[in-house]
Amino acid sequence: MSQHTNAPKPPTVQAFRQAKAKGQKLSVVTCYDAWSAKTLNASDVDALLVGDSVAMVLHGHPNTLAATSEMMALHTAAVARGAPHKLLIGDMPFLSFRKGLGPAMESAELLMRAGAHALKLEGVDGHEDVVDALVKSGIPVMGHVGLTPQSLHGLGGFRVQGKDDAAAAEILRQAKRLEELGCFSIVLECVPTALGERLTSALSIPTIGIGAGPHCDGQVLVLHDLLGVDSSFRPRFVRRFADFEGGLREAVATYSRAVRDGSFPNAEESYA
Ligand code: KIV
């Protein structure tokens, strides 16, 4: 059988660069499961990120440090099955790329074989060799600077980064280095708007912001945050585009009532 079929192909990382050149904003959302992937597959979002935030959002951990390569591979495979037409970016979890090149490549292999088309890594210092090896192996790499949640304890919590000149210059240096190493784009997390704008014009690769203001080349949000699944979680940078928590509560209450009053299931919902 030919390797080249007429089946629809997922968008490529090249499309990310082209979008920046044309001034077209990129929309990225997180996705962790086949159910939501199926719906997102038919949407016009540019890429799905199987973020290590899955450890918090789906597994209930207080931070992303609990994510493992196996956890990420399991969710990546589920998303790949549900969204075959989307560019799928897998997140390399805590320490998976900090134990030397061999273990890092094994973790990368697990995610790529699970169906990722590209990988995201937080930071750059101390693992430039991993970024370089991935890029030279033909694996597109997305960088991530600013607030890097895997360094939460070192950073003193989830807080805005790059507020003073020295910190901003340091983030700019890291982003430039990631660009030099061949990253196809960079997530900027929780930095002031002015720094988001500065980085976006300083880099030739697209910046994807989360809490980095409106001047980034694209935005990424956690799907569950934009759906409004948890009204108690309200960081400044999240806009709730729906009220899923309210909808879920109402649907389950209506179901429960229907079961109790005997109106569910009715004749059409039962087998003769
Ligand atoms: O894990 C994640 O969801 C992320 C995004 C917030 C960028 O890294």
Has residue 4 been placed in a domain? no
- Whether the per-residue pLDDT at 201 is higher than 90: the answer is yes
Q: Which ligand 1 atom is the nearest neighbour of the CA of 187?
A: 7
- Does one domain contain both 214 and 261? no
- Name the residue range of residue 48's domain: 14-241
- Whether the per-residue pLDDT at 57 is higher than 80: the answer is yes
Nearest to 25 by CA among 43, 44, 52, 51: 44
The CA angle 121-26-238, to the nearest 5 degrees, is: 75
The CA distance from 196 to 87, in Å, is 24
Catalytic: which of 109, 170, 180, 189?
Answer: 189
Sequence-ordered list of residues with C-beta below 8 angstroms from that of 262, at least 6 positions apart, any chain: none
CB-neighbour burial class of residue 128 (10 A; exposed 0-12, middle 13-18, buried 19+): middle
Instruction: Express each pLDDT in 112-148 by its tens digit.
Output: 999 999 999 999 999 999 999 999 999 999 999 999 9
- Average pLDDT on 189-201 reads 98
Per-residue pLDDT, 2: 46
Instruction: Express each pLDDT in 15-32 by its tens digit.
Output: 999 999 999 999 999 999
User: Token pair of 180, please?
Assistant: 């030099």
Q: How far is the CA of 89 from the centre of ligand 1 (A)?
A: 11
- Does one domain contain both 105 and 151? yes
- Whether the per-residue pLDDT at 191 is higher than 70: the answer is yes
Q: Which ligand 1 atom is the nearest neighbour of the CA of 222?
A: 3
What total of structural domains would you count in the chain?
2
Q: Which ligand 1 atom is the nearest neighbour of the CA of 122?
A: 8
- Does one domain contain both 252 and 131? no
Per-residue pLDDT, 3: 53
- Does one domain contain both 155 and 254? no
Has residue 205 been placed in a domain? yes
Minimal-distance CA residue to ligand 1 atom 1? 51
Sequence-ordered list of residues with C-beta below 8 angstroms from that of 78, at least 6 positions apart, any chain: 32, 33, 34, 37
- Does one domain contain both 229 and 254? no
179 is catalytic: no
Nearest to 168 by CA among 191, 151, 188, 140: 191
DSSP run (H or E) holding 8: none
- Does one domain contain both 166 and 89? yes
Alpha helices in 115-222 (DSSP H): 128-136, 152-155, 165-181, 193-202
Q: How confident is the model at residue 11 (pLDDT cuts 50, 70, 90)?
A: confident
Q: How confident is the model at residue 33 (pLDDT cuts 50, 70, 90)?
A: very high
CATH of the domain at 53: 3.20.20.60
Say what the pTM is.
0.95
Has residue 2 been placed in a domain? no
- Does one domain contain both 210 and 263? no
Has residue 9 been placed in a domain? no
- Average pLDDT on 79-83 reads 98
- Does one domain contain both 182 and 268? no
